A = this chain, B = another copy of it.
């Protein structure tokens, strides 16, 4: 799952599906090219989709010769579950102790 998120193309795919769910492979390809200037081959995107599906971040549904993809953000909750926000009770300090990057 963390590995699936460690790729900007895959993160953009999630963005695209979050914006418009249920796209096919070709639709995702053109959407990525349109909105984000990603010019990868169809096979590359297909492999990314397989990775995302293996991570449980997207679900697929096959209808006829087309495969539709849906964003399933469930696994993302594992992150905040593992490292919950450091809420020490005090009001949220906008200063936020570290000021780098």
A residues whose Cβ falls under 8 Å from a Cβ of B: 2-3, 5-7, 11, 14-15, 18, 21-22, 54, 56, 59, 61, 68, 70-74, 76-77, 79-80, 82-86, 91-93, 95-98, 100-101
Contact = CB atoms under 8 A, between A and B. Distances in A.
Given A5-B6, A18-B83, A74 B93 contact: no
A96 to B, nearest CB: 6
In the complex this chain forms, how many copies of it are found?
A: 2
A96 B22 contact: no
Given A59-B97, A72-B97, A82 B6 contact: no
B22 A92 contact: yes
A71 B22 CA distance: 38
